[in-house]
Amino acid sequence: MKTIPVDDRKNPLRIFDFASFAETTALLFIRPELLWSKIRNLAPDLTICDSMQALEVHNFRLHTESRKRAKSDSNARDMYFSKNIGLRRDWYTDAAFGQQQFTGTNPTTITLAPRRWIDEFTSTAQAQGRADIISLLTEKAESLYMQDYSDFRSSIGISPGEKIVSDGRHGCSSVALFHLEPEGKLHPLGIVLDYKGSIEESVTIFNRRITSNVNGDEYMDWPWRYAKMCVQVSDWLRHEVAIHLVNTHLVEEVIIVAAYRSFGPNHIIFRLLEPHWSTTLSLNKAARETLVPSIIIGMTGLTASQTYAFLKAAYDRFDWKGLYVPNDLRTRGFPVKCLDEPKYHNYAYARNISKTWNIIRKFVATVLSKEYAGGDAAVQRDASIGIFCDEVRSRKGGQLTSFPAIETLDELIDFVTMCIHVAAPQHTAVNYLQQYYQTFVPNKPSALHFPIPQFLSELCSFTEEDLLSALPLKRPRDWLLMAQVPYLLSFEVPEESTILHYAETTSSSRATPTVIRSAAQVLASDLRAFIDTVIQNSNELDDQQTPYLVLDPSRTAISILI
């Protein structure tokens, strides 16, 4: 992309909240000791915050003070104004950790554990004398799920034994194994801290609590809490760079640019997709020029070149058809037809996103079935579709090699549905919960600030002091960026920018083609009805402390706005 069309250009100050943008900029260019006290005091004082409980108290105090200030000055809001997970007394528990895989910032990569990983964890359990783990892995193989970050080193081009570290910040390539219990709780069983080519060469720890209903002192289990922190660090990188930046922002940009180059402004596909492009190109320009090089690279254990290698690897792996919602859920072990069964009731993201996909596809199918009344033959006669596909796949164009040739009406409907899905509900799901889960840094830091233990015996001797050493308590700038960036990216969607508002206004706009206007009336009705489904799915969660309403159509952004 060389230029942004004039109508799509937006200054960053029109995209981001001004105060938050200014504070983030200050963190980049001003030494912590020179920052004005309002910002500097948001980082914990190491002389006072010398325990995890003290960090929780610090977080609660900042939230309370922010709320109090906002009562007299609405512009006084900061990153601690809204609630965050650190206000929960159980934020560190296995239950909260497991539920985040289903309804947290990245609910998109939890997947059924393949036989290879079950065997590796089993052999490690044998070496550690964990007969209880071996029994469970043998008897419940069909209910074992995992988060697999083992490919990080190959993605960034370093050897299996080489450390992931940059400027004192340590990254890790974790692997986490979970048991999806019959009643629906996702319980963590084992964690590889930092996978180094084989499980034998890596440090692996198993949970003392074999099931979710086994009692135990989770608060004082420092080795296990540290292991969960490693998983969160790994997921921070995958979520922020791959799932969020690549799989929504950059993929959607390819679609936008290819559409501008291939379709006329009155082409039905252009008219269907264009409303879902608002702000995206300007936002991506800001990400390329500032967010990635000046912020993200300074928050993780990756160097600049490794970050771009990781980004490119994620882009090269993007599987267009494989990530159609029904295909993706089935591949990861969550068949759509089973999602309303008790076993899956806590996976509210999957339950909501599958229905959202169907609603959008119904809308798209209604429009395109009328526009291409000749069916597959009519699609094949539209030369601009072929030009578009070539542009997306071309080495001189989008370089999205997984993009399919579109030759049938069904394929065209799926393609347009996917474009809207990526820009609206998918981006909403992986973007707007960042403030809640990441502003409280101990829950999901972007890096560790102390070397990762190299032996299990070393990990098992960990105390609270070791957990604190892993956090950026001695680097206030790092702490503030970890807390501030999620806040910068998580502002509420304005009502006029929601997908429901789009459907309602489109259905009554005379400037809209009749075929789209008519279909939008049904879309608006379907979306309004879906609000009740989102609320019901949230109410059915075992965890009732944190509602999951991000995919409510009255909150879902129409495009990648921030």
pLDDT digits (tens, 9 = 90+) for 495-520: 999 999 999 999 999 899 999 999 99
- Mean pLDDT value across residues 125-147: 98
CATH architecture of 241-436+489-539: Up-down Bundle (1.20)
Confidence at residue 493, expressed as pLDDT on a 0 to 100 scale: 86
Distance between CA 292 and CA 298 in Å, rounded?
9
Confidence at residue 487, expressed as pLDDT on a 0 to 100 scale: 87
Distance between CA 73 and CA 423 in Å, rounded?
34
Distance between CA 209 and CA 98 in Å, rounded?
13
Domain residue spans in the chain? Answer: 6-80, 241-436+489-539
Residue 18 has pLDDT above 50, yes or no: no
3-class DSSP state for residue 190? Answer: strand
Give the lowest-confidence range in 18-27, 118-127, 358-367, 417-426: 18-27
Q: Dig out the tokens for 203 from the structure.
A: 């440090």
Confidence at residue 323, expressed as pLDDT on a 0 to 100 scale: 98
Confidence at residue 28, expressed as pLDDT on a 0 to 100 scale: 54
Give the lowest-confidence range in 191-205, 429-443, 481-495: 481-495
Contact between 453 and 222 (Cβ < 8 Å) = no
The CA-atom distances, in angstroms, between 215 and each of 208, 210, 529 are 10, 10, 41
Burial of 261 (0-12, 13-18, 19+ CB in 10 A): middle
Contact between 446 and 232 (Cβ < 8 Å) = no
Q: Dig out the tokens for 287 from the structure.
A: 């990400």
The CA-atom distances, in angstroms, between 406 and each of 327, 387, 416 are 17, 10, 11
Q: Is the pTM of this model over 0.85?
A: yes
Closest CA to 272 of 541, 27, 512: 512
The CA-atom distances, in angstroms, between 185 and each of 198, 213, 283, 444, 540 are 29, 10, 38, 21, 12
For 29-47, how does the pLDDT look when each residue is reduced to its tens digit (9 = 90+)? Answer: 566 655 555 676 788 888 8
In the block, which residue shows the tokens 């135990």? 216
Confidence at residue 2, expressed as pLDDT on a 0 to 100 scale: 58
Distance between CA 277 and CA 254 in Å, rounded?
11
Find how far residue 428's CA is from the centre of its chain. 9
Distance between CA 332 and CA 146 in Å, rounded?
10
The CA-atom distances, in angstroms, between 160 and each of 155, 195, 398, 453, 459 are 11, 8, 31, 16, 20
Confidence at residue 340, expressed as pLDDT on a 0 to 100 scale: 95
